[in-house]
Amino acid sequence: MKKVVLIGGGFAGSLIARKLEKHFNVTLIDSKNYFEFTPGILRTIVEPKHLNKIQILHKNYLKKTRIFLGNVNEIGKDYVKVNHQKIKFDYLCICSGSRYKAPIKEQNLIITARATHLRNNYDRLCKANKILIIGGGIVGVELAAEIFTHYPNKEITIVHSKNKLMERNNDKTIKYAEKFLTKKGVKIIYNEKVIDAKENGKIYHTDKNREIKTDLAFLCTGIIPNFEFMKKNFNNRLDEKSHIKINKYLQLEEAENIFVAGDVNSTEVEKTAQNSKIQAKIVVKNLISLEKNKKLKEYEQDRTALVISLGKWDGIFESNKLTFTGIMPGIMKSIIEWKEMAGLRFRR
């Protein structure tokens, strides 16, 4: 059996492992030993018990895959290096996802992509009166909604560098979110960037000289891909934002046995779990086709539907120009989470 190595057990990597483990000798290398439904992580800040619902050990849903805990720090055309060990492969799938960049150096700042950090902050959140959210993209908006739904008396401020929230979404989506937040008393500051933090994370300054005093701050700004293992041999395959450049079949340019799916690649689609899974399915198909000398399938960068939750009982469903709001999209998000996790827990 040929050897397939996967880097990262998030949405893309875990799906590829499940689909390929019957046909190949699969090794999943992940810096954590569990899969986590990241879109549900914001709820764990206000409901720590929710964490049990969104995590599952890789070994509990993978049947034949060899699971290797570690951080890949170098790759070549037929090997990866992890924990000073070299692992050879016939095919490699890079699914290492992304993390948040932290432009502001401050111990007290909570970075929303860091799940472990995030869920340990429940006590701090309970005690805080003033909360600052840096970044008004989808994550910042969902986080503000989660917090005020649970704690309506907390004073929440969002600082956003653009002139509207979630600027890549439809106007109706944006207006609904804005109205939803402001009606509940969330203060939104537009066209300003937070540039530094002082007093152990109690005072922040924006580029327009505004001073914001807060008890707790969350950083919800743009993501950066986990690309560092590319530097030694494939630095020229990174784009200007350090995403891994790929061809239309999701292969690394000039290395057709290496596929790249999810947040880490250079596709222009929104970096979502849904898109990571769509790409993972293409990778599975193409890897099998390559093995059988069949034609590969192109990845079409379509805009996919999006569900944005505004607390447990409200939300927005957006598909192309269509937007639905209210309780149904709110519930939809919980159903998607339940379905994803049940699919892993009860996998036959």
Site size toward ligand FAD (CB under 6 A) is: 33
Q: Which of 23, 50, 66, 71 binds ligand FAD (CB under 6 A)?
A: 71
Residue span binding ligand FAD (CB under 6 A) among the ranges 8-16, 48-56, 150-158, 162-170: 8-16
Name the packing angle between helices 138-150 and 171-183 (round to 10°): 30
Nearer to ligand FAD, 71 or 121 (CB): 71
- Which tokens hold the place of 228? 């560092």
Using the rule CB under 6 A, is 263 a contact of ligand FAD? yes
Nearer to ligand FAD, 98 or 157 (CB): 98
| DSSP run (H or E) holding 223 | strand 223-225
Q: Whose CA is closest to 41, among 30, 50, 33?
A: 50
| C-alpha angle 346-30-146 in degrees, rounded to nearest 5 | 65
User: Which neighbouring-strand residues pair with 205?
Assistant: 196, 211
Residue span binding ligand FAD (CB under 6 A) among the ranges 9-17, 85-93, 181-189, 240-248: 9-17
Per CB under 6 A, contacts with ligand FAD among 91-150 are 95-98, 112-113, 139
**Residue 65 in contact with residue 79, Cβ under 8 Å?**
no
What are the φ and ψ backbone dihedral angles of 6, each rounded to 5 degrees? Answer: -115, 135
Q: Which of 27, 38, 161, 206 binds ligand FAD (CB under 6 A)?
A: 38
Per CB under 6 A, contacts with ligand FAD among 81-100 are 95-98
- C-alpha–C-alpha distance, residues 63 and 26, integer Å: 10
Helix, strand, or coil (residue 187): strand
Nearer to ligand FAD, 40 or 201 (CB): 40
Q: How far is the CB of 295 from ligand FAD (least distance, A)?
A: 26
| C-alpha angle 37-30-76 in degrees, rounded to nearest 5 | 135
Q: Hey, how many other C-beta atoms are within 10 angstroms of the C-beta on 271?
A: 18
Binding string to ligand FAD for residues 214 to 233, with x set by CB under 6 A, is what? ------------x--x----
Nearer to ligand FAD, 201 or 315 (CB): 315
What are the φ and ψ backbone dihedral angles of 193, each rounded to 5 degrees? Answer: -120, 135
Q: How far is the CB of 27 from ligand FAD (least distance, A)?
A: 11
Nearer to ligand FAD, 41 or 125 (CB): 41
- C-alpha–C-alpha distance, residues 9 and 265, integer Å: 15
Using the rule CB under 6 A, is 41 a contact of ligand FAD? yes
Cα distances (Å, whole numbers) of residue 101 to 111, 112, 241: 9, 10, 11
Residue span binding ligand FAD (CB under 6 A) among the ranges 7-15, 44-52, 155-163, 245-253: 7-15
Q: What does the binding site for ligand FAD look like in residue numbers (CB under 6 A)?
A: 7-13, 29-32, 38-39, 41-42, 71-72, 95-98, 112-113, 139, 226, 229, 262-263, 271-274, 276
